[in-house]
């Protein structure tokens, strides 16, 4: 089985990145051969659908399990539809995460942990005035 | 002629300005209330283009086809995420239309999972992973690219309801507003349909568009194509910060822009200085008036309720129309050369 880990850097010693769709790298480890490859994630700056695109990228490479920190609802649907295992709340380095997975220590997740657009980490274009207070986050999405 | 009323900041008084502007111009075009002044000079008209020759309104016109509305001034509430002009106008509704967006539907008998649709979709609303096709209709912007470019003709389109457009009459005005359905995120298609219906009404001489706050897609869609955008702001640091963003937006849209300073007796002079530096005409400085706030809280417009405000908004309207006509003239000249 191939396992993909969202990573802040390109190698096995890099820390796990807590975002799925907008993680800068994925390190993909083949558990049978022990080989690994690194993908620079082209969806980091996507305006929309970064999680779905990333799920597609990994799915088409034959990845069977994803290890990451948080994930939104759309990539969960995409990974589930292709029978990909999802493990969340992962921290430490890529190789530590893969070892924990190999030892069967990770529980598969039951659902998304963050709302859509979580990884964007920005405010919105909506007004900031008193009548608008408290709604900026919800209305900040670009449509 | 299209006047849009927008702002960066929420709560500056867009709806107050749009509703009262429409009412004041409507009253003067019908010859009731105070007659429009023909005085071309004004102490506050500091160097701005002269006013146009009165209001570009027809006295008698054809009613718009099929809508049951007479011609003249059309007020459009384009804050489709939370329309509120109707709370002040209490219109008699005449009609309603559901607005839909075409979204993809895949015939899996024909699909060979080539992934062309997923490659062309800018919003990941359709994706293909190995032998699975996934649709995310709430992300679809309805461009039709997937259907057009599918090599196997496997992608059809179905209409997905997003919201509705309603229209009616109030206080001698034609009134249109859009409503995005609860849970929907995609406001611009509803705004586009709303504006098309309002502008298509035969005899729509002057269309006043109340835009949503901010500078994101819903506001851009509401302001796009206006002859003049009035940016309503207040003389506070927040007001100035968001005005700056809004001015960048109208510049990108190539829409002539003027400023209305609301609660002009509060705050400081930084908004005024900014307008001076950017050559932005300030068409009105509206003072805070407790009586206006009280009528607002009761859901009534200031025009017709608080003495002095009809004249204020009529004067603002005349200046705006004059400026819009002058900008339009310059725009046409630019186009010819």
Q: Band the pLDDT of A62: cuts 50, 70, 90.
A: very high
Reply yes or no on whether the pLDDT at B50 is more than 60. Answer: no
Please state, in angstroms and rounded to a whole number, the distance separating the CA atoms of residues B309 and B289: 10
Q: How far is A104 from chain B (nearest CA, A)?
A: 27
Q: How high is the pLDDT of residue A15? A: 98
Q: Give the mean model confidence (pLDDT) for residues B253-265.
A: 96
- What digits encode the pLDDT tens for the residues A100-116? 999 999 888 766 767 76
Q: Which of A60, A132, A142 sits opposite B216 (nearest CB)?
A: A142
Is B216–A126 a contact, with Cβ atoms under 8 angstroms apart? yes
Asked if B125 has any chain A CB less than 8 Å from its own CB, the reply is yes
Q: Band the pLDDT of A134: cuts 50, 70, 90.
A: very low
Reply yes or no on whether the pLDDT at A20 is more than 90. Answer: yes
Question: What is the value of ipTM here, to two decimals?
Answer: 0.78
Q: Which of A81, A82, A124 sits opposite B216 (nearest CB)?
A: A124
Q: Give the mean model confidence (pLDDT) for residues A40-58.
A: 93
- Residues on chain A touching B241 (C-beta within 8 angstroms): 128
Average pLDDT along chain A? 83
Q: How high is the pLDDT of residue B270? A: 95
Q: Whole-prediction pTM value? A: 0.77
Q: Give the mean model confidence (pLDDT) for residues A88-96.
A: 95
Is B188–A56 a contact, with Cβ atoms under 8 angstroms apart? no
Q: How far is A141 from chain B (nearest CA, A)?
A: 8
Q: Give the mean model confidence (pLDDT) for residues A34-61.
A: 94
Is A127–B242 a contact, with Cβ atoms under 8 angstroms apart? yes
Q: How high is the pLDDT of residue B123? A: 93
Tell me the count of A-B CB pairs closer than 8 A: 102
- What digits encode the pLDDT tens for the residues B139-164? 999 999 999 999 999 999 999 999 99
Helix (H, G, I), strand (E, B) or coil at A15: strand
Q: Provide the chain A residues 122-141 that lie in CB contact (below 8 A) with chain B.
A: 124-132, 139-141
Is B127–A53 a contact, with Cβ atoms under 8 angstroms apart? yes
Express as a percent the part of chain A with pLDDT over 90: 70
Is B216–A140 a contact, with Cβ atoms under 8 angstroms apart? yes
Alpha carbon A27 to chain centroid distance?
A: 12
Does residue B316 contact residue B208 with C-beta atoms inside 8 Å?
no
HSE of B112 in the Cβ direction (CA atoms, 13 Å)?
Answer: 5
Q: Provide the token pair at A67.
A: 């290890």
Least confident among A75-84, A102-111, B248-257: A102-111
Q: Band the pLDDT of B31: cuts 50, 70, 90.
A: low
Q: How high is the pLDDT of residue B200? A: 87
Q: Give the mean model confidence (pLDDT) for residues B183-205.
A: 91
Reply yes or no on whether the pLDDT at A128 is more than 90. Answer: no
Helical packing angle, A50-59 and A73-81, nearest 10°: 20
- Residues on chain B touching A77 (C-beta within 8 angstroms): 134, 136
Q: Report the sign of the C-alpha dihedral through residues A124, A126, A131, A135, in that order.
A: negative
Q: How high is the pLDDT of residue A12? A: 96
Q: How high is the pLDDT of residue B203? A: 75
Q: How high is the pLDDT of residue A121? A: 52
Query: Which range, B39-53, B79-93, B315-329, is most confident?
Result: B79-93
Q: Give the mean model confidence (pLDDT) for residues B246-253.
A: 97
Please state, in angstroms and rounded to a whole number, the distance separating the CA atoms of residues B196 and B163: 15
Is B11–A49 a contact, with Cβ atoms under 8 angstroms apart? no
Torsion angle, CA of B263/B269/B274/B275, rounded to 10 degrees? 50
Q: Band the pLDDT of B42: cuts 50, 70, 90.
A: very low
- What digits encode the pLDDT tens for the residues B68-123? 444 589 999 999 999 999 999 999 999 999 999 999 999 999 999 999 999 999 99
Return the residue in B11, B124, B237, B248 with the most chain A beta carbons within 10 A, the one to mutate for interface testing.
B124
Average pLDDT along chain B? 87
A49 Cβ contact partners less than 8 Å away, ≥ 6 residues apart: A43, A74, B121, B123, B124, B125, B136, B139
């Amino acid at each position: 089985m191939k396992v993909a880990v969202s990573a802040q850097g390109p190698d096995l010693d890099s820390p796990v990145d807590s975002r799925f769709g907008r993680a800068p790298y994925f390190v993909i480890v083949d558990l049978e051969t022990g080989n690994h490859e690194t993908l620079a994630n082209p969806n980091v700056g996507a305006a929309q659908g970064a999680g779905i695109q990333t799920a597609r990228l990994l799915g088409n490479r034959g990845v069977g399990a994803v290890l990451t920190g948080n994930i939104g609802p759309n990539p969960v649907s995409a990974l589930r539809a292709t029978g990909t295992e999802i493990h969340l709340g992962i921290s430490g380095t890529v190789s530590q995460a893969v070892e924990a997975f190999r030892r069967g220590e990770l529980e598969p997740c039951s659902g998304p942990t963050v709302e859509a657009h979580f990884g964007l980490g920005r405010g919105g274009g909506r007004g900031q005035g008193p009548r608008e207070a408290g709604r900026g986050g919800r209305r900040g999405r670009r449509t | 002629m299209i006047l849009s009323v927008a702002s960066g900041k929420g709560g500056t008084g867009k709806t107050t300005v749009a509703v009262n502007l429409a009412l004041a111009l409507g009253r003067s075009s019908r010859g009731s209330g105070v007659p429009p002044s023909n005085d071309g000079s004004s102490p506050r008209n500091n160097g701005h283009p002269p006013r146009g020759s009165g209001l570009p309104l027809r006295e008698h016109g054809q009613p718009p086809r099929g809508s049951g509305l007479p011609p003249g001034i059309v007020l459009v509430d384009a804050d489709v995420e939370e329309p509120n002009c109707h709370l002040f106008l209490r219109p008699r509704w005449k009609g309603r239309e559901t607005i839909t967006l075409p979204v993809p539907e895949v015939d899996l008998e024909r699909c060979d999972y080539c992934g062309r649709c997923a490659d062309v979709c800018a919003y990941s609303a359709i994706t293909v992973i190995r032998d699975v096709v996934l649709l995310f209709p709430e992300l679809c912007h309805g461009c039709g690219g997937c259907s057009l470019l599918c090599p196997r003709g496997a992608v059809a389109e179905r209409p997905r309801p997003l919201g509705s457009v309603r229209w009616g009459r109030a206080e001698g005005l034609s009134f249109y507003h859009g409503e995005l359905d609860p849970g929907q995120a995609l406001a611009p298609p509803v705004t586009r349909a709303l504006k098309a219906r309002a502008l298509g009404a035969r005899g729509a001489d002057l269309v006043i568009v109340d835009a949503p706050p901010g500078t994101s897609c819903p506001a851009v869609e509401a302001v796009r194509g206006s002859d003049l955008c009035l940016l309503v702001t207040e003389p506070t640091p927040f007001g100035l910060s968001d005005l700056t963003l809004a001015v960048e937006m109208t510049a990108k849209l190539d829409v002539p822009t003027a400023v209305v300073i609301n609660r002009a007796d509060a705050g400081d002079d930084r908004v005024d200085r900014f307008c001076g530096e950017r050559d932005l005409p300030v068409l009105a400085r509206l003072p805070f008036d407790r009586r206006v706030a009280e009528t607002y809280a009761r859901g009534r417009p200031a025009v017709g309720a608080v003495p002095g405000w009809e004249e204020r908004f009529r004067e603002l309207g005349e200046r705006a129309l004059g400026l819009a006509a002058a900008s339009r003239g310059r725009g046409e000249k630019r186009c010819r050369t």
